[in-house]
Amino acid sequence: MSTRREFIKQSAILTAGTIAAGNSFAINFLKKPKVIILGAGISGLGAALKLTENGYDVTVLEARNRIGGRIFSHTIDDNDKIVVELGAEWIGDSHTRLKELCKELGLDLINNRFDDRLIYDDVFYKPDDWDYSPEWREKFDKILLSYSGMTEQEKIQLDKMDWWRFLMNNDIPQRDLDIREFSDSTDFGESIRFVSAYSALAEYAESNKYNEMDWKVKGGNSLVINSLAERIGMEKIRQGHKVDAINYDLNSIKIHCTNGSTFECDKLICTLPTYSMSKINWSPVLPKEKTDAMNQLQYSRINKSATLFKERFWKDEAFSILTDTFSHYFYHATKFQNSPKGVLISYSIGDKADIMSRLKSPQREDTIADSLNIAFGDVRNLFEKNVNYYWGSDEFTKGAYALYGKGQWFSLLPVLKEKINNIYFAGEHVADWQGFMEGALITGEEAAEGAMS
């Protein structure tokens, strides 16, 4: 049997001889596979950068006429260069990979933590004037501590009920339950009656006290996207290329776009949300288990309504309010931006988000003003502009991020992530840090590693 050194030597002789003779076999033997990536969000671009840095031929196909996907920074005031996030907002303190990437790209992070006020039953409470009851706080702390000792089977069992039912089973008082509904539904984008109890408990037990709502990029989160694209090369990113058909087998993958463009590759990384994946004509069809999982997974309905005010009447940079109104949750979206003007974003979820999105602009502004009136009186005279984006009707996602319901975390996620032949799947919906930029980035890089193996 040849030793490893002898094999390398023989391979080198064969390669040199065949190349000199013009034989293409050795060239093809050495050539790295061509990889196409679907989606120019942080998952797709993270994968593309890793592959590019390792010498792979990469093309990214993006259906939108912009890059970034659900990372969507918007300049709401051109004169003062005021930027708000209409998409992904927070980088958690535990999100080590994304923080490392920002450092690599030379991007600064700014504090994006808030001190929640509360509007409940038409009463406004300042941060130090409200809390959960002492009895519930003590019980919930014990629940969080117990998470680390749970067995895999106990977690699977917990996944079979929703978060509302879990809290009720633990005898949460009604007022505490109401406040948890306002707070926790903000995290998940839908009522706590719809989210897996395991998914919820795992997030709170593994997060810090700010629930990973810690940082954002100075100048806008889209700077991460722009910096990634610059390193990859914009010529490798094809915007306005919506994929409508994919033919694949063990040896090749052929892709067709609605604009008539066609591509071929050896390996494919799909970072699309499940709605867009389901609209592709896959040939052969994807395995039934995967299509069933795609059809079962829902995405949260989140509406971001950003109101630019002539002055920051709320005074506190860390200002936010949880409310029982249609506006749901307000937070200061222009922390540390140099302008007398400021933006409060009304972040509404579920049915509230759907209703807010359907209001005409004057009605939406009235709804926002009515909510703020409880704390500040009439602020309509300070309104300058309102910009609204509803992720529930987004053309490509039909939601903000994946929402794992009862019995879905352990059954759907592994199926959605599983590769098929030379097709790899990534995105926030198959991440441990689900719903965050961190998770999307990690899964993209993991898919790239798989494609290089």
Report the chain's terminal Cα–Cα distance, integer Å. Answer: 25
The DSSP annotation for 24-59 comes to HHHHHHHSPPEEEEE--SHHHHHHHHHHHHTT-EEE
Determine the average pLDDT of the residues in 365-390.
Answer: 97
Model confidence band, residue 6 (pLDDT cutoffs 50, 70, 90): very low
Residue 14 has pLDDT above 90, yes or no: no
Q: What is the pLDDT of residue 13?
A: 37
- What value, to the nearest 5°, has the Cα angle with vertex 330 and ends 326 and 333? 140
Distance, CA of 435 to CA of 391 (rounded, Å): 13
Q: What is the pLDDT of residue 27?
A: 42
Q: What is the pLDDT of residue 194?
A: 97
Q: What is the pLDDT of residue 270?
A: 98
Distance, CA of 429 to CA of 296 (rounded, Å): 12
Q: Percent of the chain beyond pLDDT 90?
A: 92
Distance, CA of 207 to CA of 197 (rounded, Å): 15
Determine the average pLDDT of the residues in 390-409.
Answer: 98
Distance, CA of 77 to CA of 74 (rounded, Å): 9
Residue 19 has pLDDT above 50, yes or no: no
Residue 230 has pLDDT above 90, yes or no: yes
Residue 81 has pLDDT above 60, yes or no: yes
The predicted-structure confidence for 254-289, as pLDDT tens digits, reads as follows 999 999 999 999 999 999 999 999 999 999 999 999
Report the chain's mean pLDDT, rounded to a whole number: 93
Q: What is the pLDDT of residue 246?
A: 98
Q: What is the pLDDT of residue 325?
A: 95
Q: Is the pTM of this model over 0.85?
A: yes
Q: Percent of the chain beyond pLDDT 70?
A: 93
| Helices within 147-173 (DSSP H only) | 152-158, 163-169
Residue with tokens 């539904």: 185
Determine the average pLDDT of the residues in 221-232.
Answer: 98
Stronger pLDDT, 452 or 32, i.e. the higher one: 452
Determine the average pLDDT of the residues in 288-308.
Answer: 98
Q: What is the pLDDT of residue 31?
A: 80
Model confidence band, residue 30 (pLDDT cutoffs 50, 70, 90): low
